[in-house]
Structure 1
C-alpha cells in the first residue's frame, strides 16, 4: 500500500493489498488488479521477492518436516523413511539441503532469465534494462510457480514463440517436481533402477499427466475459434503443451482461459486438483497422492492382496494418509464452490468451480472472475490460497507423526459397500 509501490493514482485498498501479498507469498498468481499497470517497479520487485520467499520456503520446509517425521517414527518405519528420503534430502544436513535448494533455484532462474532477456531484447526490441527485468521476473515466477506476469495478457502475446514458452515451461516443471526428486536425479543420474519409489512415482505421474493433458487440450480446443482455432498446427501444439504444464504448476496462460470449451474447463479443474510433486512449489493433492489412490484401485480391481507400485508394496499408513488428504481436499473444494455460488449467483457454476480450484491448488489461472470478486469472495479466495499452500504439507506431516497405540482390536466387520 506504500505510494512508492503504486502506479495507479487511485490507490490500493487494504483488501486488494492483502490479496496480492497472499497470492505472491503462496505462489498462486491470482490478481484483483492489473499487475504491470497498477504497481510500480518497486511494487513488482516486492511481488517477485514474495514469490521467491514463498517458493523456497515451501521447498526447504520439506527437509524440516522430513526430519521431524523421521524422529517421531518407530525404528522400522524410520529405517524405511531413511531408505526412501535420506539419499535425496540428507536429513542429517539441513544446512546443506537449504544451500542446495537455493543453488538449484538460482541456477534455473538465472538460466531462464538470461534466455528470456535475450529474446525480449533481440526479438521484441525491448531496452536492455527492461528486457533484463522482464526476464528475471518471469524466471523467478516460473520456477517458483508464482504465475504473476508483467504483461497484462499474461503470455498470450508470446503464444507462438517457443523461445519464450519452452524455457518458462521447463522452469515450471522443474519447480513443480519437488526438491527430493530434483536432488535425487541430479545425484543419482537418470538410471531408473537407482531411484526411490517417490521419485519413480513423481516422474512417471508427471509424464502421464502432462502427456494426457496435452492430448486432451489439443483435441478439445483444436477447432475452438476463440482459442486454438485461428492458429496454425505448430501454434496449437505449442499452446496445448504450455496449457497442460501450467495447469498443474505456474498458472501462466497463452490463450483466453475464459473462452475454453466447458469440457476443457472440467479437465483443467481435475489437473489443478492433482497438482505437482510433493515438497514442490506446486499445489493440489500432489501427484504421488493421486497415483497411490489409483494403484490402490487397480490392485483392488485385480483382486491383489496388497497394493503395489513399481514392484514395491505400498504401506497401509501411506494409503490411509493419501485417502484422508484427497477426501479433505474434495470437502474443502466443494464447500468453497457452494460458498462462491451463494456469494456470486451470477457466475456460471463451472466458472466458480474453476476459480475455487485455481485458488486452492495455488495455480493462478482464471476465467476472468478475479477482478469481479466482491469483498466477501476475496476473503474466501485468500483463505483458500493459504489452505492450499500450507494445508497439505501440515496435514501430511501431522498424519505421519501422530502416535496412538491401542492394546486391543475391535472385532472385524464387513458392511455392504457399493
Structure 2
C-alpha cells in the first residue's frame, strides 16, 4: 500500500468581526446598563486625566500633578465646577479646549451618550439602546422588570428625545452665546476674547458647571444684570432636564398635555427658586460683606441669582465664605436637592423631593394613594425616592467625616463643599483650594458618586435585578 501522506491541520482562532464585538457589547449593556454606565464614566475620567496631565494642557508647559489632573477630570466630566487649580490661568488654550469638550460630554449623560454612540454605529436604535437611553431619563428603568408608572419618556420616543438632547444643547448654547457676545463688546472686551468668553460662559451655564475663563471670575459682571440674567436662564434650562425640554418643545402652549413629571419638575423648581431667594434676602440683608450695602432691588436680584446658582449653577458674584452660617445651611439644602432628572444639574433631584412631600401629605390625610394633578403615583416610586435620599445622605455624611478628619476645618465649610461636590454644584468656601492630595481624592470620589446617580450606583453594586420568589410573614415595627 502506498504511504499515506499526513497533512498538518492548522486550527485558526475565530476572527472577531465588528458585528461580533458589537453584539457582545450590546449583550453586556442589556444585562447591566448601570454597570456599563460606570464603566464608560470611569473610562472617560481616565482619558481626561491623561489629557490634563500633558504638558501641552498647562500654560507653564509642564505636567500637572496626578491629584490635580484627576480632580479636574472628574470635575469636568461630572460637570461639577470645583477646582484645585486656577482654571483661568493654569490651563493653556489646549487645556481650556479639553475642559470645554469634557463638560459637553458630561452634560449629555453617560447613558444618553452610550445610546448616541450606538445610534452612530448601527444607524438605528434597537430596543436595548432605547432602554439605556430611557434609564437616563427615568432612574426606575435601571431596575429590570416592569415599571408600574407612565415613563417620563416612552420607549417609542427615545430616538426623538436623543435628537432633542443634541439639538437643544446646541441651540440653547448658541443663543446664550449670541446674547452674551455683544454685551462683552460693549464692556470693551476685544472681539476674539469676547467671542471665546461668550461661547465658554454659555457652555458652563447650560451644563451647570460654573467655570469661568477669566481670572477675576464674575467680578467684572457683578452689577451687569443683563449678563447675569442670561446666565440664570442658561442654568435654568440646563437644570430642568431634557425630558422636560422635549415635552415643552412639542406642546409648550398646551399645559394639559404635559406629563406629571414635567409639571412636578417645573412647579417644584419655581417654588425652590423663589423660596431660596426669599430666605437669602431675610438672612443676608444686614450682612455688610454680602447684601448689606445694596438697595432693595439689588438685594432681591442678587438673592435670586444666588438661589439659582445654588441649585447647581456654580457661578457666584459674592464671596461664599462671607455668607452667614444660616445662609450656608439654606444653600446646603438647595444644593442637596439640585435640579431635574436627566438634566445637567446634580443633587437628589426636585421630583424626588416632590414625591416624598406627596407621600407625607397622603399619609397625613390618611389616604392610601399619592395623587398629583389628577394622577396617582405608585408606591414603588416612593421606594426609589427614599433610596436616593438615603444613599445621598450617606455619601455626604461619610465624605464630610473623612474631610473633617483630614483638614480639621470648620464643619459648616466642610459640609458646604462636600454637598457642593456631591450635587455637582461647584460653589466653594475656599476649602477645596487648600485640600491635600488625600482630600482631593475623597472629593473626587464624592463628585463621581454624586454625578452617576445614587440609584444607578445602588443598582450596580447591589445587582438589584435579582428577583425574590417568596415572601416572608408580615410584622410591623414601631416607627416614629
TM-score (ref. length: structure 1): 0.91
Q: RMSD of the TM alignment (CA)?
A: 2.2
Q: Which has the greater radius of gyration? A: 2
Change (3 A) 1:326 1:42: same
Q: Which whole-Å deviations, capped at 9, do the CAs of 1:91-132 have from their partners, x for residues lacking one?
A: 33544432221110111101111111111111x201110000
Task: Give, in angstroms, the shift of residue 167 of structure 1.
Answer: 0.8
- Does residue 385 (structure 1) correspond to residue 433 (structure 2)? The answer is no
SS at match of 2:150: helix
Contact 2:142 2:459 in 1 (8 A): no
Q: In structure 2, what is the equivalent of residue 360 of structure 1?
A: 422
Contact 2:400 2:418 in 1 (8 A): yes
How many residues are matched?
407
Change (3 A) 1:129 1:339: same
Q: In structure 1, what is the equivalent of residue 156 of structure 2?
A: 92
Change (3 A) 1:379 1:400: closer
Give unmatched runs, 5+ long, in structure 2: 1-52, 116-129, 136-140
Q: In structure 2, what is the equivalent of residue 415 of structure 1?
A: 477
Alignment of 1:189-208 (within 5 A): 189-208=252-271
- Does residue 167 (structure 1) correspond to residue 167 (structure 2)? The answer is no
List structure 1 runs of 4+ shifted beyond 6 angstroms.
Answer: 396-401
Q: In structure 1, what is the equivalent of residue 91 of structure 2?
A: 39
Q: In structure 2, what is the equivalent of residue 81 of structure 1?
A: 150
Q: Which whole-Å deviations, capped at 9, do the CAs of 1:138-175 have from their partners, x for residues lacking one?
A: 10111011111113343233222111101111011111
- Does residue 232 (structure 1) correspond to residue 295 (structure 2)? The answer is yes
User: In 2, Cα distance between the equivalents of 1:176 and 1:270?
Assistant: 16
Task: Give, in angstroms, the shift of residue 19 of structure 1.
Answer: 1.0
Give unmatched runs, 5+ long, in structure 1: none
Report the more deviating stretch, 173-182 or 304-313.
Answer: 304-313
Task: Give, in angstroms, the shift of residue 12 of structure 1.
Answer: 2.3
Pick one of 353, 366, 389 that aligns with 1:303. 366
Report the more deviating stretch, 186-195 or 150-159.
Answer: 150-159
User: In 2, Cα distance between the equivalents of 1:149 and 1:70?
Assistant: 35
Contact 1:147 1:252 in 2 (8 A): yes
User: In 1, Cα distance between the equivalents of 2:466 and 2:182?
Assistant: 54
Change (3 A) 1:51 1:70: closer
Contact 2:264 2:351 in 1 (8 A): yes
Q: Which whole-Å deviations, capped at 9, do the CAs of 1:356-395 have from their partners, x for residues lacking one?
A: 0000110000011111000110000110111011133514
Alignment of 1:6-405 (within 5 A): 6-8=58-60, 12-58=64-110, 60=112, 64-65=131-132, 67=134, 69=141, 72-74=144-146, 77=147, 80-81=149-150, 84-86=152-154, 91-92=155-156, 94-122=158-186, 124-345=187-408, 347-392=409-454, 394-395=456-457, 402=465, 404-405=467-468
User: In 2, Cα distance between the equivalents of 1:115 and 1:414?
Assistant: 59
Report the more deviating stretch, 59-68 or 378-387.
Answer: 59-68
SS at match of 2:289: coil
Change (3 A) 1:194 1:328: same
Change (3 A) 1:42 1:324: same
Contact 2:273 2:307 in 1 (8 A): yes
User: In 2, Cα distance between the equivalents of 1:284 and 1:385?
Assistant: 11
User: In 1, Cα distance between the equivalents of 2:466 and 2:256?
Assistant: 33
User: In 2, Cα distance between the equivalents of 1:32 and 1:85?
Assistant: 38
Change (3 A) 1:96 1:300: closer
SS at match of 1:206: helix
SS at match of 1:319: helix
Change (3 A) 1:256 1:66: same
Task: Give, in angstroms, the shift of residue 71 of structure 1.
Answer: 10
SS at match of 2:397: helix
Contact 2:277 2:304 in 1 (8 A): yes
Task: Give, in angstroms, the shift of residue 85 of structure 1.
Answer: 2.3
